[in-house]
Structure 1
């Protein structure tokens, strides 16, 4: 019988220190790969741009635009790859100085207390200014009236004597103003040019995130379209669309309504060209 530690007691302890844990970005990336998802899949599901997803997985949070936005992106990405966001947010706060502290209420009340009282209008100064304006206007009118009378008398003396039978020349009638030309609107896409492709996206049934690019891949719009809003895009040959919630969108291509029955919540990638609507 031996005295001492058993072989099981001599096994090395598992390293569970903070340094051994994966970083926030690495944990998100490993979970995404384990779930069989691509960066495009995660970007479409969370509405987080591809560049920001790549940056977060590389532990670069500068493109997020601040710690508040970075925490929101981390929470959304963690849910998309089926991770608990709480440990990731705690690690992010520990590495970036913690969550911003709430503004104490006492200084706010103190600032409100020492705010100077609002004074009423100075009616005396206003009355003096009004009297000065009236006196000036009366004087200017008197001087101007005297000069006009002198000019009129000079004109009568120099010209021929007016006769009683002479009548004043008739006043010309003003021509009728032309009707204002109505400004063109986005709804008038029925007259879309034949040499271009025109696409109107209307959020008739609810809000939806949309992305639109031209044939060169240049971004025309990338954002959220609220219910009732619409956007019109035009290109010489092709428009590429991504609809975050296709069921909430109604499309009009080259003046024609697209009758495709998109499902609510479905993400659709569409391409339209010149001529009759053809889904690419």
Structure 2
């Protein structure tokens, strides 16, 4: 025994590394009190509810809602009371089975990113749009082709009309026309294009009612032609005429004078084509 020392002074130093270390809640509480803060102060500064602050200081981490939230609250409260949160977090991990494994964010992100690509709604929409475009193009092409075909058939039918109508026409009285005598309008008639039929009607002997139609039956003129007046008609294949007083009319077809002797007051129905001058 040493002189001047009590028996208690000679006791060996106690190991305060583990047993004497305060709990997490106790350490946070002591640091808060030392900082001169109340629970309300800490709750206001950290936005951690008062009930949870009280529970953590009592080492009750159940209200935190899990280890991840408990560790977050410990870190927040430690910083608020000026403590290093690392030792407290390590102590929490040691007492509660270690730090929870982090959630593999990358695989989850890849799964979420790949999932909509497998469904492929954009490819479906693109395919539908392509089908609609192809169907529209085929329909448009067929429609245009049908129009062209029908137009060609119509032209052939119209072109054949003058040929079939010629045998039914009365036989011309004089098939060999005389040489046309020059008249003031002969130059224009002589210059008629060969790919069309051109008919000039002149009321040389008096007024007469006349009617003229093209190969489609469209009316070109229907009215009274006074004495001395003339009308010129042109079509791609045929001109149909009705003369109310054929004896008063002088005709020029494709630049040649028609020498038929029509009777005064007689009504004549005539047809002329590109191959004339002949009374149709």
TM-score in terms of structure 1 length: 0.35
Larger Rg: 2
